[in-house]
Amino acid sequence: MATLKDISVELGLSVATVSRALNGFPEVGAKTRSRVQDAAARLGYRPNRSAQRLATGRSGVVGMIVKLRADMSADQTFFDVLTTLTAELAARDLDLVLSVDQGDDPVAPYARMLERDLLDGFVLNAPATGDPRPGFLMARGVPFVMHGQADPAPGYAFFGIDNTAVSVDSVGLLASLGHARIALINGEPRFAFAAEREAGFRAAMTAEARAVPAAFIADGPPTESTGYTLALSWLSGRAGPRPTAILCATTPVAAGVLRAARDLGLSVPRDLSVVAHDDALPNIRPAHFNPALTVTHAPLRDACAPLAEMLIDHLNGAPAARLQTVKRAGLIVRASTGPVPKGEEHPWQIP
Amino acid sequence: MATLKDISVELGLSVATVSRALNGFPEVGAKTRSRVQDAAARLGYRPNRSAQRLATGRSGVVGMIVKLRADMSADQTFFDVLTTLTAELAARDLDLVLSVDQGDDPVAPYARMLERDLLDGFVLNAPATGDPRPGFLMARGVPFVMHGQADPAPGYAFFGIDNTAVSVDSVGLLASLGHARIALINGEPRFAFAAEREAGFRAAMTAEARAVPAAFIADGPPTESTGYTLALSWLSGRAGPRPTAILCATTPVAAGVLRAARDLGLSVPRDLSVVAHDDALPNIRPAHFNPALTVTHAPLRDACAPLAEMLIDHLNGAPAARLQTVKRAGLIVRASTGPVPKGEEHPWQIP
DNA sequence: CTGAAAGCGCTTACAG
DNA sequence: CTGAAAGCGCTTACAG
């Protein structure tokens, strides 16, 4: 393995200059820099991470703690994000160490990890409403970035999508097609994103002057069977007048809804419109659904690069207030949404 | 953070002695050692990994490469192993870095990882028959341990279960119950474990003088639907005389078999005996199956500690020949196996 | 059994 | 714009 010393000898420079040239210090002259870069490439130089870390006092490792869940589709989501995040962090010379937790205390695993490992920071996932983790870490001065946001106006770094807009945009599309009875199959209420989606949904429905009976806002694990069970009960008409459109938290949920409609002999989109939020899970292609699924689209894995970038910036001293990004999901209209059926334009009557 | 220096000052010793005491060098006196250990605990000393790694020339990171699969149950298995393995390696001061690969060349990702990262070694998973990875890594002198074994008498370190015995033991149990028509739903043939299980199955059946028609040895992804589909076709009798017992590669496969039996109005174990190999996946409890499932039992996660231990030993110079362990899976007899139905004791007639 | 010293490969004030 | 030097916190021959 070539070292800085090797390059410095090769070029008759000091290791200090070689180090500065390679690290982009502005005071190094252009020709010197390119000579150094050439030599580094020629000798196959790779910085020794341990030496860099020892010299800078950083460990180069960031932690992430995951809750083990019974639910398999969560594992799949997690797996996708994990691999992408690992790659994005690696590209920035950061190692990700993972810890699995099954306990009830949300902050205990962080405390444990902090005292066991030398960590430069954390990536927080799955924000819950009233999440205690940000407060815990901020009190200890530990840098972190959150995937999503747990608070309306956070004092910490985060990257997420506008979940209110996800609902508002979906309702907007359906309303423009004449739908008045729109039901929601939401994510589990402990997650902050689900609260935001529900708030957006209620606000948009209220703005359209369409009240929603409590029975038509439901939630569950993000699975096909959640979608199937709820849709079956709603579409059978047992809970009251059938919705003409259903908003789904995830694409597997939408798959269940489509199956329920099929089983009941309903045609999509003639009898029912379906919209889902699409996290772009591997192996699930809403465009290949039958009918192709209308979605709000925001790949989870697209968050990984920004998260890694923000964490690096944060570790380099950027203030949290600068490191807050909310992306708007795109609305992709496909074949699962259509005009409200004739005669079904009336909203629910709330007693 | 306390350092060796802090301890040495506290105790009036040299850092060298402190280092030796903490690292278990035999030449350090007992009282000195315990004084040092006390002081270390009192000061909350944690070794600086970067410094250790720089001094020893080891990176402290080992790599693992996973193939991304469409199949979700594989993800789940992988997830379980990954988290346990990470913990076991961390307990031995090793970081695991993960890389995901989707390409066709089995060795290319290793070459890439080797040139990108400073790695001390690898953990290899999912051995295939004729796996080129061991040869590739051995030629480069890169230490690794394999989970399972790709070759009959490997020249490398590995930890696995006796897959031949898995089949032999299962067939033995069924034969003792009088079964003669035993079918096999195996793992996918590209994996070495599946080849071993099939060989064991054939050998055991031959030993019992029970030939098996080709149609009754099948394979597929380790899913419920694989089990359901194959069992449905076999038990309907379309493929010839029904098997009276089915051996399943995994517990999800067995779940599918049980469902097929139920759909056909067959009772287990009265009409059909079912045995599966149980990797002890999270969230799948063969004891809670209905009926409770008879299995060969070998938790995948139990391999993690031995793998970590062997890798450490290997990195410390232990020769591969010393680091080869084959565990025998336990046979757990539950309610899904019973005596062969009266009148069904005759074997298949092979033309 | 213990210590003094060199070295691992970087980074970064401090001088010039 | 560049260099000499100290230092990050360990480990480990080499002496004694």
Mind listing the pLDDT tens digit for each residue in A206-230? 998 888 999 999 999 998 999 999 9
Quick one: which of A298, A297, A295, A299 has its CA closest to A336?
A295
Q: Which residues touch strand D (CB under 7 A)?
A: A 12-17, 20-21, 26-29, 32, 51, 54-55, 57; B 1, 3-5, 15-16, 19-20, 22-23, 45-48, 51-52, 54-56
**Which protein residue's Cα is closest to nucleotide C2 at C1'?**
B17
Which chain B residues touch A66 with a CB distance below 8 Å? 83
Cα angle, residue A287 at apex, residues A285 and A288 outer, rounded to 5°? 70
Nearest-neighbour CA in chain B from A83: distance (Å): 6
The length of chain B is 351
Say whether A50 and B46 touch across the interface (CB within 8 A).
no
Looking at residues A85-100, what average pLDDT do you find?
84
Say whether B54 and A59 touch across the interface (CB within 8 A).
no
Mind listing the pLDDT tens digit for each residue in B154-170? 999 999 999 999 999 99
CB A180 within 8 A of CB A171: no
Residue B55 CA distance to nucleotide D15 C1' (Å)? 21
How far apart CA B314 and CA B312 sit, in angstroms, is: 5
The answer to whether strand C lies under 7 Å from the CB of residue B54 is: yes
Residue B246: CB partners within 8 Å, gap ≥ 6?
B182, B183, B184, B185, B231, B234, B257, B272, B273, B274, B275
pLDDT class of A72 with cuts at 50, 70, 90: very low
Residue B29 CA distance to nucleotide C3 C1' (Å)? 15
Q: What is the mean pLDDT for each group of 10 consecutive residues in chain B (351 residues)?
A: 91 93 90 92 91 90 79 62 85 83 86 82 94 95 94 94 97 97 96 96 93 93 94 90 96 97 96 96 88 96 95 91 95 98 90 62
pLDDT class of A187 with cuts at 50, 70, 90: very high
Quick one: which of B57, B133, B86 has its CA closest to B315?
B57
Nearest-neighbour CA in chain B from A339: distance (Å): 35
- The bridge status of strand A294-297 relative to strand A330-332 is antiparallel
Rounded to 5 degrees, φ, ψ at B130 are: 70, 30
Mind listing the pLDDT tens digit for each residue in B294-340? 999 999 989 999 999 999 999 988 899 999 999 999 999 999 999 99
Which chain A residues touch B66 with a CB distance below 8 Å? 83
Closest nt to A6 (CA→C1')?
Answer: C9
How far CA B304 is from CA of A96, A99, B124, in Å, comes to 19, 15, 12
Place of tokens 């006092």: A57
Which secondary-structure segment (H or E) carries A158?
A: strand A157-161
Quick one: which of B133, B349, B282, B41 has its CA closest to A67?
B282
Q: Per-residue pLDDT for A133 more than 60?
A: yes
Which secondary-structure segment (H or E) carries A227?
A: helix A224-235
Quick one: which of B79, B135, B81 has its CA closest to A67?
B79
pLDDT at position A99, please? 80
In order of their start, the domains of chain B are 4-47 (1.10.260.40), 61-160+301-326 (3.40.50.2300), 163-299 (3.40.50.2300)
The half-sphere exposure of A328 on its side-chain side, counting CA atoms within 13 A, is 7
Per-residue b or e along B189-216, where b marks 16 or more CB atoms closer than 10 Å to that residue's CB: eebbbbbbbbebbbebbeebebebbeeb
How far CA B114 is from CA of A276, B107, B241, in Å, comes to 42, 11, 54
The length of chain A is 351
Q: Which residue of A has its CA nearest to B100?
A: A83
Out of A59, A73, A283, the one facing B50 most closely (by C-beta) is A59
